[in-house]
Amino acid sequence: MQRAKLYRRFRTLLIANRGEIACRVIRSARAMGLRTVAVYSEADRDAMHVAMADEAVLLGPARARDSYLNIERVIEAAKKSGAEAVHPGYGFLSENAEFAQACLDAGLVFVGPTAAMMTAMGSKSGSKFLMEQAGVPLVPGYHGEAQDEATLSEAADKIGFPVLVKASAGGGGRGMRIVRSDAELAAAITSAKREAKAAFGNDRMLIEKFVQNPRHIEVQVIGDSHGNLLSLFERECTLQRRHQKVIEEAPSPTLDATQRETVCAAARKAAAAVDYVGAGTIEFVSDGKDVFFIEMNTRLQVEHPVTELITGIDLVEWQLRVAFGEALPLKQDEIKLNGHAIEARVYAENPHKNFMPSVGQIRTWRMPEALDGLRIDAGYREGDAVSPHYDAMLAKVIAWAPTRNEAIDRLNRGLEQADVRGIVTNIPFLSALVTHRDVRANAIDTGFIERELTNLTPAPAAPHDLELCAAVAAILGEEAKAAGAEALSPWRTAGWMPVGRRQRGFTFRDRQGAEHQITLTYGNGPATLSIGERELAFASSAGTAGGFDLRVHGMKSHVVAVIEGHELYLRTRNGRFDLHWVDPFGGETEEQVGEDKIVAPLPGTVVALLAEVGATLEKGAPILTLEVMKMEQTLRAPFAGVLKAIKCKVGDIVGEGVELAEVEPVAA
């Protein structure tokens, strides 16, 4: 067979990816004695994966299409660096059969399945024909070739609403819409097709019955080029938002031992249908009783670490061994399940603003120590930039323990210790999620996050006296640092100051918009703060990177404070707080964009105009759709009014803050 050439020993590996997965692959490759080559875009010159690799090759401009998705450039980089093999990671080119073939044609080992296997399984539609033949249970649906509206609509009627319209080439939850009635179908197909075309360059759709109260269960498989194929237990990834996984665990707390064996056997059968080689995942959707095949991912999965932690297997190492042409080191009955593992995906996004991605520079990056069953797979460090060009996932926090409850506790402790500043992250949201009673009880389905959103994103708490004192202490600390030791310090209690007591006012605005006034009195004698009627004696230790100790009314507590201009981020025993310091002298320099202007919240592409100039809009009416970081974001009327102007057209690439439309309020 041709396989002898496909898979062979190599010494230099190019990693055709970025972020945490590139770093993850480099770690295992290096441990196996391989030389590693990173590739990067102009936006990633200083990225972590570039710093980690032995060598790095520039691919091109920031846009993924010009860099990480550019097959020719990646192959050239491999040749230039003397790489003999390519690991594609996940996302990007990892499921691109053309790329796998291009590697082979260039004499490179592709760490993964062959182009033929990818083609067979890569299309959701095509793979379902194969699974039908292999006798793997499928969700009822239509996966035929005809794509005209009448055929699709007839198919949906026959399946029965609600249905799921899916891009056959889809991934990452994109190009997918739940449709509850015939009336919604055409619009859903149009928008799913548009998203699929943009993201995958292919807009073929399939339709599936929408399984009620669905759970996502998947099985890790791996095959070698000697005909061995193993399943490495299952993962449950039911906690999703917009069909995208947020928390994953292994084993599934929903299955008993018999069900576990059934789903694993079905997965082996599915992979065997294409004599699969490499690591892959067979995904199923479950109604709590039966499981139905939905797709195969012919690559390493984001959530692979939970499988590694319960099996003790390094999946990247095994991928590389398979690529060397070796046989898998264990037999099926030698794979043992040990304990429980759970993973949380840390994203640069704002759960309070509809999970809008957050871009900018990471000022503080503190992750829990990887001790006691905690593992951190990160792709970013302090000072790194999060660019709008790529996926917003920054890192994964993964916990292992003998039982599920202990693993959840451990994960939550890890999340509570994590502290990222400069950009907004979903860390507090993840913490709220894993400690939710229903998550603990495994009383969930894939709609859980959407339903519980308000409870999972509680309004930020108003600051207590402790936080207000901490804010003043942090500002004084910064000022003292800037002025040097000679400065007039409120901490001096000795009486050299000729002026006696001095007073200074501070105003802070909290996240709710409420203002808090504080008066500091200092000079001869101990400093005091008055907040309303209350007078508090307070003192603070010198600040360190880890924060400072604050003594308020004799009670000492530790505070972490970060000041960026007029923004203060505090962490105290009461939680996390953001305060804005309203400086009486500096004036407010915040840029005020007129409320009636609809501006791009982030750089993006205009993909649809949803209202016409002159139209009367209700508050919340959709105006246009922007694609930001690969997700569609609909911008809506901030109040009832008339659409006065549209200042962009479909296809425009717009920068952050660019005005896109204008709404004129109607007098109430």
Q: Is 301 in the site for ligand ADP (CB under 6 A)?
A: yes
CB of 307 to Mg ion, least distance (A): 16
CB of 174 to ligand ADP, least distance (A): 6
Residues that bind Mg ion (CB under 5 A): 283
Q: Is 139 in the site for ligand ADP (CB under 6 A)?
A: yes
CB of 284 to Mg ion, least distance (A): 10
The residue among 197 and 647 lying less far from ligand ADP, judged by its C-beta, is: 197
Q: How many residues appear in the chain? A: 668
Give the contacts of 164 (CB within 8 A, at least 6 positions apart): 176, 177, 178, 179, 207, 208, 209, 210
CB of 397 to Mg ion, least distance (A): 22
CB of 92 to ligand ADP, least distance (A): 5
Q: Is 405 left (phi over 0), alpha (psi -120 to 50) or beta?
A: alpha
Answer for which of 393, 520, 531, 607 binds ligand ADP (CB under 6 A) is 393
Count of residues touching ligand ADP (by CB under 6 A): 38
Q: Is 88 in the site for ligand ADP (CB under 6 A)?
A: no
| Whole-number Å distance between alpha carbons of 380 and 19 | 7
Judged by DSSP in three states, 367 sits in: coil
The residue among 173 and 339 lying less far from ligand ADP, judged by its C-beta, is: 173
| Whole-number Å distance between alpha carbons of 477 and 280 | 53
Which residues on adjacent β-strands are paired with residue 515?
Answer: 509
Tokens matching residue 497: 């100051």
CB of 141 to ligand ADP, least distance (A): 7
Which part of the chain contacts ligand ADP (CB under 6 A), choosing from 224-232, 293-301, 356-364, 612-620? 293-301
Q: Is 302 in the site for ligand ADP (CB under 6 A)?
A: yes
Which part of the chain contacts ligand ADP (CB under 6 A), choosing from 164-172, 253-261, 524-532, 534-542? 164-172
Among ligand ADP, Mg ion, none, what binds residue 516 when CB lies within 5 to 8 Å by partner kind? Answer: none
Answer for which of 59, 274, 285, 408 binds ligand ADP (CB under 6 A) is 285
Give the contacts of 441 (CB within 8 A, at least 6 positions apart): none
**By beta-carbon distance, which residue lies closest to Mg ion?**
283
CB of 529 to ligand ADP, least distance (A): 45
Judged by DSSP in three states, 73 sits in: helix
| Whole-number Å distance between alpha carbons of 566 and 408 | 37
From the centroid of its chain, how far is CA 353? 15
Answer for which of 164, 356, 480, 606 binds ligand ADP (CB under 6 A) is 164
Answer for which of 234, 308, 349, 391 binds ligand ADP (CB under 6 A) is 391
Give the contacts of 572 (CB within 8 A, at least 6 positions apart): 466, 467, 470, 557, 558, 559, 560
Q: Which residues are annotated as catalytic?
A: 299
Among ligand ADP, Mg ion, none, what binds residue 203 when CB lies within 5 to 8 Å by partner kind? Answer: none
| Whole-number Å distance between alpha carbons of 604 and 628 | 5
Q: Is 426 in the site for ligand ADP (CB under 6 A)?
A: no
Which part of the chain contacts ligand ADP (CB under 6 A), choosing from 168-176, 414-422, 522-530, 607-615? 168-176
Answer for which of 17, 36, 225, 426 binds ligand ADP (CB under 6 A) is 17
Q: Is 598 in the site for ligand ADP (CB under 6 A)?
A: no
**By beta-carbon distance, which residue lies closest to ligand ADP?**
91
CB of 169 to Mg ion, least distance (A): 12
Q: Is 172 in the site for ligand ADP (CB under 6 A)?
A: yes
The residue among 298 and 412 lying less far from ligand ADP, judged by its C-beta, is: 298
Q: Is 90 in the site for ligand ADP (CB under 6 A)?
A: yes
CB of 286 to Mg ion, least distance (A): 14
Strands (E), 496-651: 502-510, 515-522, 528-531, 534-540, 548-552, 555-564, 567-572, 575-582, 597-599, 604-609, 616-617, 622-628, 631-636, 641-646
Short-list 317, 283, 318, 308, CA closest to 298? 283
Q: Is 571 in the site for ligand ADP (CB under 6 A)?
A: no
Alpha-carbon distances of 509 from 214, 516, 536, 595, rounded to whole Å: 43, 6, 20, 20
Judged by DSSP in three states, 561 sits in: strand
Task: Provide the CB-side half-sphere exposure for 579 (13 A, CA).
Answer: 33
Answer for which of 225, 244, 298, 572 binds ligand ADP (CB under 6 A) is 244
Which part of the chain contacts ligand ADP (CB under 6 A), choosing from 297-305, 408-416, 469-477, 516-524? 297-305
The residue among 203 and 391 lying less far from ligand ADP, judged by its C-beta, is: 391
Answer for which of 36, 123, 286, 446 binds ligand ADP (CB under 6 A) is 446
Q: Is 95 in the site for ligand ADP (CB under 6 A)?
A: no
Among ligand ADP, Mg ion, none, what binds residue 28 when CB lies within 5 to 8 Å by partner kind? Answer: none
- The C-alpha torsion from 323 through 328 and 329 to 332, rounded to 10°, is 150
Q: Is 235 in the site for ligand ADP (CB under 6 A)?
A: no
Which residues on adjacent β-strands are paired with residue 632?
Answer: 627
The residue among 44 and 283 lying less far from Mg ion, judged by its C-beta, is: 283
| Whole-number Å distance between alpha carbons of 247 and 268 | 25
| Whole-number Å distance between alpha carbons of 96 and 137 | 26
Q: Is 171 in the site for ligand ADP (CB under 6 A)?
A: yes
Contact 251, 340 (CB under 8 A): yes
Helix pair 97-105, 115-122: axis angle to 10 deg: 180
CB of 500 to ligand ADP, least distance (A): 59
Q: Any idea what DSSP says for residue 446? A: T
| Whole-number Å distance between alpha carbons of 439 and 458 | 17
Short-list 209, 140, 214, CA closest to 180? 209
Site for ligand ADP in 192-231 (CB under 6 A): 208-211, 214, 216
Which part of the chain contacts ligand ADP (CB under 6 A), choosing from 243-251, 305-313, 520-528, 577-585? 243-251
Q: Is 18 in the site for ligand ADP (CB under 6 A)?
A: yes
| Whole-number Å distance between alpha carbons of 318 and 102 | 23
Among Mg ion, ligand ADP, none, what binds residue 164 when CB lies within 5 to 8 Å by partner kind? Answer: ligand ADP
The pairing of beta strand 364-366 with beta strand 244-250: unpaired
CB of 620 to Mg ion, least distance (A): 31
H-helix segments, 385-426? 404-417
The residue among 44 and 510 lying less far from ligand ADP, judged by its C-beta, is: 44
Q: Is 295 in the site for ligand ADP (CB under 6 A)?
A: yes
Q: Which residues of the shown chain bind ligand ADP in the complex (CB under 6 A)?
A: 17-21, 89-92, 139, 164, 166, 170-173, 176, 208-211, 214, 216, 240, 243-245, 283, 285, 294-295, 297, 301-303, 391, 393, 446
